[in-house]
Amino acid sequence: MGRPSSFLDETVFAAVANCLVEQGEVRLQAVTATAGVSTGSIYHRFGSREGLMAAAWLDAVEAFQERFLVALAAGSREAGVAAALATPAFCREDVARALILTTGRRSEMMSDKAPPEMQARLDQLNGQARAGLEAFARDLEVPLERVRLALIGIPLGAVRLYLPEKAVPESVDADIRMAVSALLAAR
């Protein structure tokens, strides 16, 4: 039996978010300094810089999509609005993960050098999100591209007006609600 871990993944992932915001890139030395862990510990836990980046990305995607898909599952227009509002709520309540998703680029966070099992997990998560959006569009008889704009494009665009420089204000929720409601009601 190995010795217990001396750090939490969340601490390291928050350091990754900090590096993305402060430096525009993730350097392992900066992550270890910010998180207060050794380089060896990072390599032991994540295998490589690419493994760390992929793990941080997957953690953020999974946390967001869980919230998003739970809201969407009700299958009504109001559920669509709730799913859209999951984005600003996530950005206020889970800032480090939100910063990873809004400032990190998927191509860098989940590069071709990422471990294959992590690539497979991302494909699975993206497949679940795609299936949820397709089912929602079908149930409401709304074109899929309109659903994607309403539930992804508008909320993401709105939070990117604020992040990473400042917090996403609650006042943005009313505007997202109005825009999403209008798009989902249009025929």
Cα distances from 69 to residues 11, 101, 111, 126, 138, in angstroms, run 26, 17, 25, 11, 15
pLDDT for 1 equals 45
pLDDT for 66 equals 95
Domain annotation for the chain: domains and CATH numbers:
49-185 (1.10.357)
**pTM, two decimal places:** 0.92
pLDDT for 5 equals 57
Distance CA(13)–CA(57), nearest Å, equals 9
Q: Which tokens in the block code for residue 1? A: 């039996």
Distance CA(73)–CA(130), nearest Å, equals 13
For tokens 């910063």, name the residue.
Answer: 99
Q: What is the pLDDT tens value at each position of the chain, 187 positions in all?
A: 445 557 889 999 999 999 999 998 899 999 999 999 999 999 999 999 999 999 999 999 999 999 999 999 987 999 999 999 999 999 999 999 999 999 999 999 999 999 999 999 999 999 999 999 999 999 999 999 999 999 999 999 999 999 999 999 999 999 999 999 999 998 7
Give 93's Cβ-side CA count (13 Å radius).
9
Cβ atoms 163, 103 nearer than 8 A: yes
Cα distances from 122 to residues 32, 49, 62, 73, 118, in angstroms, run 25, 17, 9, 20, 6
